[in-house]
């Protein structure tokens, strides 16, 4: 009887220990989420990562995300290389290519892309330039084209527009202004003549008297992979599981973004909830009722599954080399790791 009681007591103690271990294990798991910093710009195209955080898609992958805001693509690439942030989603810049050539960063997927079914980036000019005869892209020869930095996506678009319109790239006067708000101010005041930008910003500007639309980027750069997803080479080589989990969470955010804002197959109530999430980081200096239509108007398709148009990236790399903006020996293998997502 005593032996039986001892056995029962030992079983109870053992069961309690197992239960405590499970609780402790659960608590440890909850505390073990990988903390990552993600760079974003205040643009609708950065919404998928915001949605993935807001709808716990990253949390489901045991990732705790903190967003870090930037004003341009190049500083984000530098922050990835220095370890100040872990992931970024923005345009390929000369700085990013140079850092990749040095073994510091890698493109691991695609994001925003010019597609035939969705209105894309627009070519816009100041009213003064328009009045002086710049009514179509071929008239941009000899004009001042605003960019954030030399080697930015804006610089690439300017030269591809020149190529397509049939005039010498060198005849464009590229004016680096560091930040998007500075480009907007310079265009409205006539300090620069032209710019190319996503539709919601272009449309907001052309509703006023200072700016006029004269063309579409897609007519000059078909299939343009406008932005990419990138991380440090160290993450690729040493934390592959983290990179895969990040992309899995991001992909769910991309699906919701496309359904809500591009294909418009999501209910209005769910779409409104997503717009409210995005508003925490995009146009958050305005009330939601004012920001809502601007957020929706800025939506262009994001590649499902963060798939990557490799041909477009190759064209961009060739352009950087032709302009001597990156080392001549920079290669696609240094820039891109194609093992994480589907490629075209």
Question: Where do the domains of the chain lie?
Answer: 34-113+225-335, 122-219
pLDDT at residue number 196? 96
Q: How confident is the model at residue 18 (pLDDT cuts 50, 70, 90)?
A: very low
| 8 A C-beta contact, residue 245 and residue 36 | no
At 167, is the secondary structure helix, strand, or coil? Answer: coil
pTM of the predicted model as reported, rounded to 2 decimal places: 0.83
- Please tell me the distance from the alpha carbon of residue 275 to that of residue 146, in angstroms, as a whole number: 30
pLDDT at 74: 80
Phi, psi of 41 (to 5 degrees): -105, 160
Closest CA to 190 of 238, 248, 144: 144
CA angle in degrees (0–180, nearest 5) for 225-228-232: 150
Position 31 confidence tier, pLDDT thresholds 50, 70, 90: low
Contacts with 110 (C-beta within 8 Å, 6 or more apart), sequence order? 225, 227, 228, 229, 303, 306, 307, 308, 309, 341
Decide which of 1 and 254 is more confident: 254
Q: What's the rounded mean pLDDT across residues 219-234?
A: 94
pLDDT of 12 over the 80 cut: no
118-167 residue pLDDT tens: 889 999 999 999 999 999 999 999 999 999 888 888 999 999 999 999 99
229 has a pLDDT exceeding 70:
yes
Average per-residue pLDDT for the chain? 90
Percent of the chain at pLDDT exceeding 90: 77
Sign of the four-CA dihedral 88, 94, 95, 100? positive
- Strand 105-110 with 228-232, pairing: antiparallel
Per CATH, 34-113+225-335 and 122-219 having the same topology is answered: yes
Split at pLDDT 50, 70, 90, the class of 298 is confident
Q: Any residues with CB less than 8 A from the CB of 140 and at least 6 apart, and which?
A: 125, 134, 161, 162, 165, 167, 172, 193, 194
**Residues for the chain: how many in total?**
344
Does residue 27 carry a pLDDT above 70? no
Angstrom distance (rounded) from CA 147 to CA 119 = 21
> For the chain, what percent of residues have pLDDT higher than 70?
91
Question: Which pLDDT score is estimated for 125?
Answer: 98
Whole-number Å distance between alpha carbons of 254 and 49 = 8
At 71 the pLDDT is 82
Average pLDDT of span 9-18 = 44
Class of domain 122-219: alpha beta
CATH says 34-113+225-335 is which class? alpha beta
Interval 227-240 mean pLDDT: 96
**Per-residue pLDDT at 57 exceeds 80:** yes
């Amino acid at each position: 009887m005593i032996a039986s009681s001892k056995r029962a007591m030992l079983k109870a103690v053992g069961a309690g220990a197992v239960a405590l271990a499970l609780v402790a294990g659960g608590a440890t798991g909850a505390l073990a989420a990988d903390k990552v910093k993600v760079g974003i710009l205040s643009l609708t195209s950065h919404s998928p990562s915001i949605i993935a955080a807001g709808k716990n898609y990253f949390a489901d992958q045991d990732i705790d995300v903190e967003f870090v805001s930037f004003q341009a693509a190049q500083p984000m690439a530098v922050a990835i290389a220095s370890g100040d942030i872990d992931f970024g989603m923005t345009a390929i810049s000369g700085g990013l290519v140079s850092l990749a050539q040095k073994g510091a960063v890698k493109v691991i997927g695609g994001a925003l892309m010019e597609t035939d079914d969705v209105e894309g980036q627009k070519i816009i000019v100041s009213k003064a330039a328009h009045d002086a005869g710049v009514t179509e892209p071929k008239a941009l020869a000899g004009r001042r084209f605003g960019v954030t930095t030399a080697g930015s996506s804006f610089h690439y678009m300017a030269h591809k527009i020149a190529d397509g319109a049939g005039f010498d790239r060198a005849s464009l006067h590229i004016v680096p202004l560091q930040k998007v708000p500075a480009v907007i101010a310079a265009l409205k005041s006539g300090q620069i003549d032209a710019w190319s930008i996503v539709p919601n910003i272009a449309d907001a500007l052309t509703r006023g008297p200072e700016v006029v639309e004269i063309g579409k980027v897609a007519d000059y750069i078909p299939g343009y992979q406008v932005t990419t997803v990138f991380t440090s080479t160290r993450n690729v080589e040493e934390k592959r599981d983290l990179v895969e989990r990040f992309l899995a969470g991001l992909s769910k955010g991309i699906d919701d973004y496309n359904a809500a804002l591009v294909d418009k197959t999501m209910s209005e109530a769910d779409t409104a909830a997503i717009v409210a999430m995005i508003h925490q980081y995009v146009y958050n200096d305005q009330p939601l009722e004012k920001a809502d239509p601007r957020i929706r108007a800025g939506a262009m398709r994001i590649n499902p599954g963060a798939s990557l148009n490799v041909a477009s990236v190759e064209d961009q790399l060739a352009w950087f080399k032709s302009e001597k903006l990156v080392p001549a020996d920079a290669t696609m293998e240094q820039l891109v790791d194609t093992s994480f997502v589907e490629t075209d």
